[in-house]
Amino acid sequence: MANSVILAKPKKYVPDLVALNSLCERNFLLLSYLVDDWRYESEVNQFETSPQFTFQIRVLEQSRYTNLLEIRQLSTSFPDFLQPNVQVRVYHDAKMAEVVKSQNVSRIQPSYIYPNKQMHQPDEKHQINLFLHDWLAFCKEKGMSLPNQISNLN
Range of the domain at 62: 17-148
pTM here? 0.78
CA–CA–CA angle 82, 134, 107 (5° rounding): 65
State how far the Cα of 60 lies from the Cα of 62, in Å rounded to an integer. Answer: 7
Residue 8 lies in a domain: no
Residue 121 lies in a domain: yes
Determine which helix (DSSP H) or strand (DSSP E) holds 74, and give its type and residue range: strand 66-75
Give per-residue pLDDT as tens, 81-110. 778 899 999 999 999 999 999 876 777 777
Q: Can you give the pLDDT at residue 97?
A: 97
Residue 5 DSSP class: -
**How many other C-beta atoms are found inside a 10 Å radius of the C-beta of residue 102?**
20
Residue 24 lies in a domain: yes
Tell me the backbone φ, ψ of residue 85, rounded to 5 degrees: -150, 115
Q: Can you give the pLDDT at residue 2?
A: 62
